[in-house]
Amino acid sequence: MNRKAEETEKALAAAAARLMARASDNYSVSAVTLAPRIRAAVEKYLFRDNAEASIADVNDFVDKLQADDLCLIVACEQGSDKAWTDLVERFGATVRSAARSVSANDEGADDLAQSIWAELHGLRVRADGKPASKLAYYSGRGSLAGWLRAVVGQLAVDQHRKQSRLVQTEDDADFDRLIQKDKQPWSGHAERINPEIEVSHKQASADLQKALAGSIGHLSDEDRLLVKLYYFDGLKLHEAGAILGVHEATASRRLTRIHADLRSQVEESLKEEHGWTRPETERAFSDIALHMEADIEPLLVSEPMIKNKREMTG
């Protein structure tokens, strides 16, 4: 072991002692037990991006860890009944709340919450005979409540994937309908236009969509994330801004700039790959936008109006 590694080990041992001193209740966890956990967190987060991190950086990192939460989790791993009681009492409501937000009903939320507690206890057994609990993955860097929410979210996604493989969901039915719809470009207008024009429009639409998709892929990560959050995930601007750590107004300005960037990139792409002129591109944009507005209008009509229409026609 070289000198740097020795110094790091000493610093980690000292930091573990400081962390235990900071905790309001350390559940009699020893510094020896805590040190490997802290080392794992330092290696995962600090040394990954900065292998030459100084001792001061290590101390700073460890001193920002959540002392109470980390001691509680390590004590739970050690099998402390008191720690488990405290964990369930303090975070039972958090787990229920998280499960409720990702479940369709209370029954599903209760099932999910139970699954979480089972995962935390550890359903499998490790090589050393101890249960393989998810608790081993909590680093103490963020809050324990947030980590539990993330675990609930991951478990919900896993369960959804498993169910999706088995059940033909309503989404799939919608998907099939959309496919059928996609096969009819310019729906609603197709019957009236010339077949040649129809083919031409279909090709133009496909080229435009492809160019747009390619342009989105070339956006910066932050911009691409904003586009995905807003247009693909259906979040509101303030919600997307919160994820990016910016104000709603900033997110809005960014989106406007992204629109301009995407448009210029799409125009450039169509010009290079398909030889489109600028007027052709502009006409294609306006035609497709007009067509999409026409497509959206029926969606905005309320259910009673549709019913009345059917009654009148039928």
Partner 1 sequence: MKTTENHEMDLLLRSLGRRASARPGDEASLQSDGASGAHLDADELNCYAEGVVTTAERARYTKHLADCASCRRIVADLVPAAGVARRYEVTEEKTGWSLRESLAALFAPSFLRFALPALVLTAIIGITIVALRRQQQTDFVAQNQTPTSTAVSGNSEGRKVTTDNISQSAGSPEQQQPPADVKEKDLSRSQKSDVVAPRVSPPDTAASADRVTTGLVQPGQSGAVAKSQPTFADQPTEAAAPPPPPRAGLEDASKIGEARNAQAEAESQKRRRDYDYSQRREQNEVARPSSAKGGPSRNDSQNVGGLSSVMSRSNKDEKAAGNAAESRRVSGRVFHRQGNTWIDSDYASGRATVNVSRGSEQYRALTADEPGIRAIAEQLGGEVIVIWKGTAYRIR
Applying CB under 8 A, which residues contact partner 1? Answer: 45, 48-50, 64, 93-94, 96-98, 101-102, 134, 137-139, 141-143, 145-147, 149-151, 153-154, 157, 171, 174-175, 178, 182, 208-209, 212-213, 216-219, 221-222, 224-225, 227-229, 231-235, 239, 242-243, 245-247, 256, 259-260, 262-263, 285-286, 288-289, 292-293
Nearer to partner 1, 101 or 308 (CB): 101
Which string of DSSP letters, residue by residue, matches the chain? --HHHHHHHHHHHHHHHHHHHH-S--TT--HHHHHHHHHHHIIIIIHHH-TT--HHHHHHHHHTS-HHHHHHHHHHHTT-HHHHHHHHHHHHHHHHHHHHHHSSSHHHHHHHHHHHHHHHH-SEE-TTSSEE-GGGG--SSS-HHHHHHHHHHHHHHHHHHHHHHHS--HHHHHHHHHHHHHTSTTTTTTTTS-HHHHHHHHHHHHHHHHHHHHHHHTS-HHHHHHHIIIIIS---HHHHHHHHTS-HHHHHHHHHHHHHHHHHHHHHHHHHHH---HHHHHHHHHHHHHHHHHHHHHHHS-HHHHHHHHHHH-
Residue 151 CB, nearest distance to partner 1 (Å)? 5
* Residue 42 and residue 11 in contact, taking contact as beta carbons nearer than 8 Å: no
Residue 268 CB, nearest distance to partner 1 (Å)? 14
Residue 45 CB, nearest distance to partner 1 (Å)? 7
Nearer to partner 1, 2 or 289 (CB): 289
Residue 309 CB, nearest distance to partner 1 (Å)? 24
Bridge pairing between strands 124-125 and 131-132: antiparallel
Q: The tokens 């279909």 sit on which residue?
A: 202
Calpha distance 83→129 (Å, rounded): 21
Nearer to partner 1, 6 or 43 (CB): 43
* Residue 222 and residue 257 in contact, taking contact as beta carbons nearer than 8 Å: no
Residue 65 CB, nearest distance to partner 1 (Å)? 10
Residue 84 CB, nearest distance to partner 1 (Å)? 19
Nearer to partner 1, 30 or 143 (CB): 143
Nearer to partner 1, 8 or 66 (CB): 66
Nearer to partner 1, 249 or 307 (CB): 249
Residue 175 CB, nearest distance to partner 1 (Å)? 5
Nearer to partner 1, 101 or 114 (CB): 101
Nearer to partner 1, 121 or 247 (CB): 247
Residue 141 CB, nearest distance to partner 1 (Å)? 5
